[in-house]
Amino acid sequence: MEMREQTEDPEPNNIESTEPDHKKSTEKRITACLVNAAFFGALGSSYLYGYNLSVVNAPALYIKKFYNQTWTERYGEPIGADMVTMLWSITVSIFAIGGLLGALCVTLLTKLIGRKGTLLLNNGFAVIAALLLALGEKARSFEMLIIGRFIMGVDSGIALSALPMYLGEISPRHMRGSIGQFNSILICLGVFTGQVLGLPELLGQESRWNFLFAFLALPALLQLCVLPFLPESPRFLLMERRDEAGAEKAFRAFLGKKDVSKELEEVHAESRAQNTLHMASVTELMLNPALRWQVITVMVTMACYQLCGLNAIWYYTNGILRDSGFAENVIPYIVLSTGGIETLAAVVSDQYSWMPYLSFTCILAVIASFCSGPGGIPFVLTGELFEQSYRPAAFMIAGIVNWVANFAVGLLFPFMQESLQTYAFLVFLVVCVLGAVYLYFILPETKNKTFMDISQSFAKINKVPLGDKEIENELAIKAGSKEVEKNGKVIIDGEMESSF
């Protein structure tokens, strides 16, 4: 008996000692799987978006020269300076028009072919755009460059909506923020890659600038090779396709464990709630008094995101630095660290010899603060301010504001620079100040708060009742969701949120 007790005693101790290691091992498997999905998902999506923000900057002079040569060959006379500016502005800004179209199509695509399927299909747009942009010079057609930029915009519009949706649905709640950061990190990495490849020693030469656009196909092809082997969103498989076996397999891959019954039941419960939930339209969202200031806040945030001057820097960095006083042979290297507004330097750069270096310092400071802070906030904030039935409409409004503002910057900034010269960035300064004042007084802290907590924060300025029940009823009635009464309490369908 003694021997048996001695041999049986260590068992519980072994279990206790190995349990933390097993839990740690499972956590590592979760992280590895999610990181792979997040990285390769973002590589052919947000990375390409960032790359396209900066890639047009380095070859700007060569492309304008190509436009002039093509125009002369066709019409027998040089192109006018205003027409060159117009064609170049259209080439840069039509990217945003394509983005708007892509954002409007993404809801239908993600519903028909899934989140991962949409990302895979989107690579086709990137490859087509790369071919048009790379071969436009050979074909002596500047129209191919404009069409290629438009198609690349469609790719980015789809990517910036489909990728956050995919990452949000495959990430456990406690990892959603860190996994979601891959979106903004890869955007910044894409911008930096475009600047590096634009150096004169690499592809920033008159004989090589078309290879800058051919590079677009590489991340898309890499994603096409890897993403098919990663799981689809388990939430999409279960709620949209009713594929429980596929969802279970996806959960196992992402969680690194065999028993995923709890996760499946959570999504089943959400699915039952969604079956009775009416998805609000854009019109219903705009007319709902309980969400009026949330909508305004999203629109202001998205507008400031594009109108802070950052995209003007990325699109037209060389010209701005040239006006700031840097020597021509130094500019390509300074461009590597661009990414923000240089209001002070743009105003007085021609008065003091040390102002170009202050310009450089301002650019470094703004790109660091933007990418580590507000760079990813607007997309996350849109999901936090609205419950499930309103999110699709809210993301559509946010997407429209985002791409229209992007288009305005790309099209109008060259003309602003010509007319206002060193004072052009004061326009962006005014936008930033007004946006900061609005957000300081109106936007509440959303960290670790539920949808009802955030709704109560907005209730006073929305002039709706402060009680939880009244807010729930107001939202439910406007969204057309069904109420289930149980034990004298009103339960709103769709209030339940899965951990995935």
Q: Please, what is the Cα angle at 212 between 210 and 218, to 5 degrees?
A: 115
pLDDT band of 213, cuts 50, 70, 90: very high
Rg (CA), the chain: 26
pLDDT 10s digits, 170-186: 877 667 667 777 777 78
Q: Which residue has the higher pLDDT, 395 or 73?
A: 73
pLDDT band of 146, cuts 50, 70, 90: very high
Instruction: Indicate the residue type of 43.
Output: L
pLDDT for position 381: 77
For the chain, the helix, strand and coil percentages under 3-state DSSP, each to the nearest 5: 75, 0, 20
CA pair distance 243, 251, nearest whole angstrom: 12
pLDDT 10s digits, 285-328: 888 888 888 889 889 988 888 887 776 666 666 666 666 566 66
Q: Is the pTM of this model over 0.85?
A: no
CA pair distance 294, 265, nearest whole angstrom: 32
Tokens 């199509």 belong to which residue?
Answer: 105
Q: Which residue has the higher pLDDT, 211 or 457?
A: 211
pLDDT at 336 over 70: no
